[in-house]
Structure 1
């Protein structure tokens, strides 16, 4: 029989709070013992808990089903005790749930059953640190609150810093590694280092590249992203490029889903057919003649699989 008792759910969540308050890890067996009213050295710590003896006949199957439902609803988190390898449960802070959902959507994370990951990916030093970074400004270390404690993360831009600060507020990550690996993304061996590898609160892996929104459709950046996807496919990890536009986090799929600006599309394609390129000067010449948003040109680049080179203030778009 599947449990569908809202009161038991409330009691279970309160019990997880009690485990946290007492500094104890909520293992499956311990949770079931308390709910069934069992006694013992650890169980006796919870005699005053509202959850004690609230489900004296609950089976292991019923408890597992309830915990799985709460996991899918993002109300609880599953963690692994590094010292003994056992899994334990923690309650998600209720104020964090909306933020967790938003960042799941941004990073392309879909909830699935808890599974083990390759934790060796987080071992070792970043591939590029303060001394070896080629960035000339905005390099800094910041603290990030993860579910395993505070990690000090190296960032290379204000946007990277802002991203880490926002996931820190909601304890989105179990672990974070900056500059986690290098890959060759061209035939002549040019090297690319993604910004972050994140082990999310639901034990999913995702590589995150943080770019200014007007750099998201630069051809070499898209090339790097596709090569990263190819080289990490066996890790069952997500790969995503994100940015911020008008104070909202966006990814490439958000741009692809925009409504096509057909007037601008017509002008871009006309220039490509006529002179084999569309430049920033061409775009500036259209201002006042047609209405368009800054992201419209990026939508056209992605939709038609065009090649954009150079910085946004002097870009050139061609066919591939």
Structure 2
């Protein structure tokens, strides 16, 4: 879905809401989310982290970050609710195998629930989760933060406004071995393969440019020498995704064939830049200043809960991503991965 600047600014402002926010999971991603929310609202008031395993570490982390001194920490859901009041929104930032369990708990207390990607390591259980959310008239979304990469929306309003001019796409995604981000080492989980982990990111980038594309996976390979998958859509457009966790440096590169020179978007840093052929394109400062995809994601989900009839990529991505996750696992089984 392509957003204009006014919509993106509205998401940014909405993230400053002081409404009670419950974060389930006290690892790296739970802490990242607490930091994003606290920065948006100006303090940690109204934010609670529920963690069954990391409470001592969390206390130390909070003490080292004065801006987060008001974030509540609890080892159970009732304790988190006691600290901040009844939350309208919960973010699930636990490990993938626990996402369904934790989402059921937050839906049962009446909270709209945003689940870090992937929604689950078990697609059947995740589909039951979608049914539960519907029965409780709560929204459930999946964390596809690059649905809110503002430079991509700028391109969608200008150079790439016409979908028919978008040709084949290549996504390069590389991390160094044992990379540390946001103050902690990035961890992988054995229940989720690398391509499965990157799939929601690729999906969000593609669907921002091509909002109506019907995607399917036509090949996938995971090995020590490389990881790649190819998707296609109803126009037979080819989308190649290549990723690794053993690179020399961090890389986030989106290459788009157009009816002119190749367009490249490099978003490995907080200030993305765009090149078309040999020319660097100037992106307006108003777009570049909205430099936190997670803050925009939070604000978009908050606004979606206020008006559920409005389309929200975080919500609409959930079911299609489960279908693609099944397709990817099919190729992994065929290849014996």
TM-score by length of 1: 0.29
| Superposition TM-score, scaled by structure 2 size | 0.28
Which is greater in Rg?
1
